[in-house]
Structure 1
Amino acid sequence: MNGAQTFRKRVADVAAIQWTGDNPYAVRAFTGIHKVEPSGNHHVFTVQSGHGELYVEADNVWRDIEIGDWIVRGSRGFFPCRPDIFAQTYEEVEGGRS
């Protein structure tokens, strides 16, 4: 093929939770524990100085999470998603629970 082609984004269901600023236990229950060698285990989500932080394993970095951001579990782990991007990209699945 020499010319441009058209592609469609693959559709996949994802599990997600929204950070409200007052639901750290629910977010931690959703994200769980991450194993780090050799330092041991740590939570994937933590609250530091009043704001949330999410460990993004695919990038091997901690990302700040703002109130209203969504935390999405994808095929490569967890990643943050701004509310406007989340609304454009995802729709709720009827009866779906993770």
Structure 2
Amino acid sequence: MSMQDRPESLDGLLGFITAALPDEPTVTTEDRAALAKLKAKKRELEAQQEAKIPGVAQYRKRPVVVDALQWTGENIVAALNFFDAGRGTTVVNINAPADRSKGWIEIPTLEGKMRASVGDWIIRGVQGEFYPCREDIFRATYEAVEG
């Protein structure tokens, strides 16, 4: 293929490659795998194009250090001390039944009262505000600060 015959788009390239790969035993598994990767890349690029909405841009969360306590249902005193250290914010309600795994803690947030279940993290934000965060989201968003 000459430079003038070279496809200008990914669609053209995929069409060219597909036409060049007859359904014969001479086509290797590696060839088919390479074509599958190209098709997957095409789908990824199309999805990215569809996701672009006028006026919408992407933003990265600024790296800030927050204090956090994981609510276990057993650490009532630690939770109370954590809230007290947060400039006088008080816990609205703690439910600590005999089976601590079913306990929860209700805290005031900027959006109103929210509950943290056992295993959730309670975070003190940069302005001293508190909010609960599920374990999976906490692990995906935060990492421990060394030192």
TM-score interval (norm. to shorter): 0.7 to 0.9
Return 5+ residue gaps in structure 2 as ranges.
Answer: 1-53, 98-102
With normalisation by structure 2, the TM-score equals 0.51
Return 5+ residue gaps in structure 1 as ranges.
Answer: 35-42
Q: Does 1:82 align with 2:129?
A: no
Q: Does 1:64 align with 2:115?
A: yes
Q: Flag the structure with higher helix content.
A: 2
| Secondary structure, aligned partner of 2:138 | helix
Partner residue of 2:16?
none
Between 1 and 2, higher relative CO (CA 8 Å, sep ≥ 6) is seen in: 1
What is the Cα deviation at residue 4 of structure 1?
4.4
- 1:15 maps to a residue whose letter is D
Deviation track 1:65-89 (CA, whole Å, cap 9, x = no partner) reads 2111000001340000000000000
How many pairs align? 85
Q: Flag the structure with higher strand content.
A: 1
| RMSD between superposed Cα atoms in Å | 2.0
What is the Cα deviation at residue 55 of structure 1?
2.0
What is the Cα deviation at residue 14 of structure 1?
0.5
Q: Does 1:13 align with 2:60?
A: no
Bigger radius of gyration among the two: 2
Partner residue of 1:47?
94
Relative distance call for 1:84 and 1:64 in structure 2 (3 A) is: same
Cα contact 1:72–1:80 (8 A) shared by 2: yes
